[in-house]
Structure 1
Amino acid sequence: MYKVSTLADEYKKKLVTADEAVAIVKPGDRVHYGTGCGSPVDLDEAMARRADSLKDVHILSCITIRKAPSKLYLATQSNDQVRFESAHFSGADRKMCKEGRCWYIPMNFNELPSYWVGNDCGIDVAMFQVTPMDQNGNFNLGPQVSDMRGVIEGAKKIIVEVNENMPLAQGFQTQVNLADVDYIVEGSNETLAELPTKGATEIDRQIAAHVVERISSDSTLQLGIGGLPNCIGQMLADSDVKNISGHTEMLVDAYVELFNAGKLTNNKAINKGSLVYTFAGGTKKLYDFIDGNPICCNAPVDYVNNVDVIASMDNFVSVNSCIQVDLYGQVCSESGGYQQISGTGGQLDFVMGAYHSKGGQSFICTPSTRTLKDGTKESLIAPVLTPGSIVTTPRSATHMIVTEYGVANLKGKSTWERAELLINVAHPDFREDLIKAAEKNGIWKNTSKCTF
């Protein structure tokens, strides 16, 4: 740590232009672009300006939230120059993947910080956005602590891009000190990319109703992103349920609604009074809510997603979504066949943590069908997963599957019973075909108990 009298001088010594900072990137370097909203803007543009000189550079990221595609990506044409690798795909990553430019890093999110330290996954240069430096020489990482402590510890060189519009996130391990920074770039202060709140569909509302009726007062809640979680948040805000706590991987707008409705008290066993999260993504309303707010506790993902930490809170409720479920209860939440869509993230962590919580519940939600490009419908409860689909939550861990037709509690159920329960919550138009497939596969036979 520096003395206050020397902070300004040391800051000036390390202050450079974006072009000067990225000049340290060498052929073969592994460059971490930050997590979530921390992805660099001016530094990315500077990397793009020297694209012709780059060779075999790996750009690492996780859950990138950007206003526009990476300028470096647009300026390069092949993996011989730059290869993008992501631990959790965003929309931009999916586009690059389809073009053969981005590769997925399989991982359990709670382990990600350790990947960057002493695991043959070293980082040569880390560059990411931060808040302006405070009087103690600290730059706040903004609302995406996530895996960043591992990034900071593992990186040989660190470049920070100062953004005056980065929300200041309260919590722990939320800072990087001037002493650990090699170069400082004062950026163009772009406002953070927003993830607009999706409107809930009628099916979302039906699924949400099944979940909300099972949530009691004094529960701790984990929600993901999308129309469904926001619908659940709004229904809880309008319900008689009270004394809700928050402990979640991703902080979304739904928690602001719960707070404004007086439902979010965070009176849980640990971190009492704090809304704990590891990264945030939402609208300006969410970012403004986070900025300097002592109620919001941004914490590293190896703590937030720790199964034992989750399980230590009674009545923990985990709500996640998926892409497809098979009749064994295997859940795919990250790929469509061989096409990577998102990532494993912390779904399994929260599924297991919630189940081991006293009174805990894990809900994995999906519409019963999806509409294909030709207008036909396909059941999202399938006899078997589509070839190439990744099992995100194994059948042994799956607790409750929810569709608009109800809830299937799979814990302790045989393969026969699972098939029966899942067919019960499938779309009626597909139940007969599912029955035939289950019989053919030898996992179900007709019984007098059958309810469909």
Structure 2
Amino acid sequence: MPSPITKLNWQQLLKSGNRIFIGSHASVPTKLIDDLIANAKSLHDIEIVQLVTLSDNKWARPEFQHLFKVNTFFIGGNTIRDAVAEGRADYTPCFMTDIPALFTDGVLPLDAALIMVSPADEHGYHSLGVSVDVISAAARAAKIVIAQINPSMPVTYGQSFIHKDDIDAFFYADQALPEVNPPELDARTERIGQYVSLLIEDGATIQVGVGKICAAVTRYLSNHKDLGLHTELLTDGVLDLIKKGVINNRRKTFHPGKSVTSFCIGTKPLYDFVHQNPHIGFYPSEYVNSPANIARNERMVSINSAIEVDLTGQVVSDSIGHQFYSGVGGQVDFSRGASMSNGGKPIIALPSTAKNGTISRIVPHIQEGAGVVTTRAHVHYVVTEFGVASLRGKSIRERALELIRVAHPKFRNQLLAEVRKNYWVPHYQVQTPVEVPELGPVGFKELKVGNDSFDLRPLNPSDERRLQEFFYSHTKETLQMRYNSVPTQMSREKSCTLVSVDQSKDLALCIVKQKGSVVEIQAVGRYYLIESQNSCEVAFVTREKFQGKGMAKRLLAEMIDVAKSRGLASMQAYVRAENKPMLRVFENAGFVRLKSEDPSEAFLKLDLPPVGEK
């Protein structure tokens, strides 16, 4: 067994040209590396392999380029980013789950691993603490392991231990772990977090990353129940959910009862919480990030961000054009795992614009030099502050319309014009406003019909096929009552016209049943503005199995509220005289039946109070 030492002879441990790995995230052995730099003497051309390192990254500074050459799997911090941009460091893209095999298979053989661990327990085991990730594989694969023994390193459980006999050199130095405070949230980011939270069901298992959006998501999960955690990264936002009992892992189907992670980054309370906590399992990246293992969690939801998303759903998240900015990380691992999960949902969330609103992050095509990290086939949902785009099972044309809908309004017409150049959208497709501010901040309302839950929201251009399906579901009797005839065709062009509504003028609402990416229209309510009369004409149609269940009543109530808020003087409707149920809906809402020129048709009118009056 090697004898512990406090002063290292680096010339005996390393040789010029060696490849070494240094601990990642909050487990960077900073004082150990400082000692190497101070005592390198004749050493040079040492390749450092690393992930994100929460430190000053001094080894990547220009003054040390003859001693070190950095090869990073993830670009974190400006020092590393500048070194990569200037050619003094390399970036190697790789899925997080695949990095360990690069070491153990000898693709990137390691001469040494410089790691940080807790003091040994009575059995001789040191804990890798707050970062197991790829450190575990590096320690197994390296020819020698040099460990900084840090009394401030928490002891974590799972697969996080290394025996003292597997360490070749010891360096004792107390070092406070780097802390990252939760980010300040703005209104836009909070809105994104709110939309993402609406996609997460009680009993789901979640993966969240670092940054403002993920912090916002955790804030809006406070009222959820029985969530599970299977994530590569544990943060303070997640800690809050654990303490509130929101995350209790009670309904997890893989590692039930336990939060599974690979590393944690946050504040001292987080590090204190994971210390000797048997309910938190720290496992290597090849285990945590394995899509097959991720998929063993039913209702797995992965939440990641991006730099830009093109109108086919391709996700760019490691580069801005030719400038490499971050890395591949675990986004694809978790997106694929969530998509394989029973009831799973891979989500990409990002603000709609960048550079103070001057450029759109929903783009017609990715920038030159940018790389696709997550393919168009991986993504089920894209979320911005303008809503949720559902891409699963959508054609290229439908994807474009969904993504334009959640782009910033000032870029929507431009995006449609650009995408039209590639013939993804037919000539008759138009993009018009779809927001109805009167429905509230999230743009839709939840309602109950019996024991079923539904969403009341605006119709939008991407509903074209759904509206066709809705039309062809009707019986002849329903068509006769709604259209006063029996139309036999709803062409794609006609359907497109009906869903491409200028909602700032006319109004088209629908009630949908949504389960994941499966959406079915159950009822549609419209009004058409009659500008000359400052009035509007109202019409409804409901799927047969929900007729008489109150859907038309709810749609009418919403439309009356919108009409009032927009200052209309009245609302009117024409209903077939024998359609007694629909007549009752209007009359119960206050509409008055007036004389009609056609005895087979009833004319009803509702006078609205001036704005400001009830």
Q: TM-score, normalised by structure 2?
A: 0.68
Give distance in 1, aligned partners of 2:395 and 2:389: 13
Equivalent residue runs for 1:184-333 within 5 Å: 184-187=170-173, 189-237=174-222, 239=223, 241-267=224-250, 268-333=252-317
Paired position in structure 2 for 1:7: none
Shift of residue 205, structure 1, vs aligned partner: 1.0
Deviations 1:121-171 (A, max 9, x none): 100011111101111111111121111232122101111101111111111
Which gives a bigger RCO, structure 1 or 2 (Cα 8 Å, sep 6+)?
Answer: 1
Secondary structure class of the residue paired with 1:37 = coil
Give distance in 1, aligned partners of 2:150 and 2:425: 58
Task: Kindly provide the amino acid, as one letter, of the partner of residue 309 in structure 1.
Answer: N
Task: Kindly provide the amino acid, as one letter, of the partner of residue 315 in structure 1.
Answer: R
Give distance in 1, aligned partners of 2:290 and 2:18: 31
Shift of residue 120, structure 1, vs aligned partner: 2.8
Answer whether contact 2:85 2:324 (CA < 8 A) is retained: no
Instruction: Label 1:119 to 1:20 Cα distance change in 2 as closer, same or farther (>3 A).
Output: closer
Paired position in structure 1 for 2:118: 131
Matched, 1:338 2:322: yes
Give distance in 1, aligned partners of 2:7 and 2:26: 19
Paired position in structure 1 for 2:168: 182
Shift of residue 360, structure 1, vs aligned partner: 1.2
Q: TM-score, normalised by structure 1?
A: 0.92
- Unaligned 5+ segments in structure 1 are 1-9
Paired position in structure 2 for 1:89: 75
Moved more, 398-407 or 207-216: 207-216
Matched, 1:119 2:106: yes
Equivalent residue runs for 1:159-170 within 5 Å: 159-170=146-157
Deviations 1:372-429 (A, max 9, x none): xxx5610000111111111110011111000011111111111111111111110000
Matched, 1:49 2:35: no
Deviations 1:256-308 (A, max 9, x none): 11012111111211211111001111111211111111111000111111111
Secondary structure class of the residue paired with 1:248 = coil
Paired position in structure 2 for 1:414: 395
Give distance in 2, aligned partners of 1:288 and 1:341: 32
Shift of residue 220, structure 1, vs aligned partner: 0.5
Paired position in structure 1 for 2:539: none
Paired position in structure 1 for 2:455: none
Secondary structure class of the residue paired with 2:70 = strand
Matched, 1:383 2:364: yes
Instruction: Label 1:33 to 1:60 Cα distance change in 2 as closer, same or farther (>3 A).
Output: same
Secondary structure class of the residue paired with 1:217 = coil
Give distance in 2, aligned partners of 1:342 and 1:74: 18
Paired position in structure 1 for 2:143: 156
Task: Kindly provide the amino acid, as one letter, of the partner of residue 236 in structure 2.
Answer: D
Give distance in 1, aligned partners of 2:290 and 2:38: 41
Identity percentage over the alignment? 32
Moved more, 226-235 or 275-284: 226-235
Give distance in 2, aligned partners of 1:293 and 1:360: 28
Secondary structure class of the residue paired with 1:367 = coil
Give distance in 1, aligned partners of 2:105 and 2:29: 25
Answer whether contact 1:76 1:82 (CA < 8 A) is retained: no
Give distance in 2, aligned partners of 1:22 and 1:244: 51
Secondary structure class of the residue paired with 1:53 = coil
Moved more, 99-108 or 442-451: 442-451
Matched, 1:433 2:433: no
Give distance in 1, aligned partners of 2:387 and 2:357: 23
Paired position in structure 2 for 1:3: none
Task: Kindly provide the amino acid, as one letter, of the partner of residue 260 in structure 1.
Answer: K
Paired position in structure 1 for 2:591: none
Moved more, 156-165 or 81-90: 81-90
Deviations 1:46-68 (A, max 9, x none): 221245522221011112122x2
Task: Kindly provide the amino acid, as one letter, of the partner of residue 35 in structure 1.
Answer: S
Matched, 1:69 2:91: no
Deviations 1:300-352 (A, max 9, x none): 11111111111111111111111100011100111111111111111111111
Paired position in structure 2 for 1:5: none
Give distance in 2, aligned partners of 1:313 and 1:400: 19
Shift of residue 450, structure 1, vs aligned partner: 3.8
Give distance in 1, aligned partners of 2:296 and 2:263: 21
From 342, 345, 348, give the equivalent of 1:364.
Answer: 348
Instruction: Label 1:263 to 1:22 Cα distance change in 2 as closer, same or farther (>3 A).
Output: farther
Give distance in 2, aligned partners of 1:75 and 1:411: 47
Secondary structure class of the residue paired with 1:342 = coil
Task: Please identify the structure whose Cα radius of gyration is greater.
Answer: 2
Give distance in 2, aligned partners of 1:251 and 1:102: 28
Answer whether contact 1:21 1:183 (CA < 8 A) is retained: no
Give distance in 1, aligned partners of 2:333 and 2:298: 16
Matched, 1:145 2:128: no
Matched, 1:27 2:16: yes
Shift of residue 75, structure 1, vs aligned partner: 7.5
Answer whether contact 1:139 1:177 (CA < 8 A) is retained: yes
Give distance in 2, aligned partners of 1:320 and 1:23: 44
Task: Kindly provide the amino acid, as one letter, of the partner of residue 153 in structure 1.
Answer: R
From 11, 16, 22, give the equivalent of 2:5.
Answer: 16
Give distance in 2, aligned partners of 1:162 and 1:265: 33
Answer whether contact 2:314 2:375 (CA < 8 A) is retained: yes
Shift of residue 77, structure 1, vs aligned partner: 4.2
Give distance in 2, aligned partners of 1:370 and 1:63: 24
Shift of residue 200, structure 1, vs aligned partner: 1.4
Paired position in structure 2 for 1:4: none
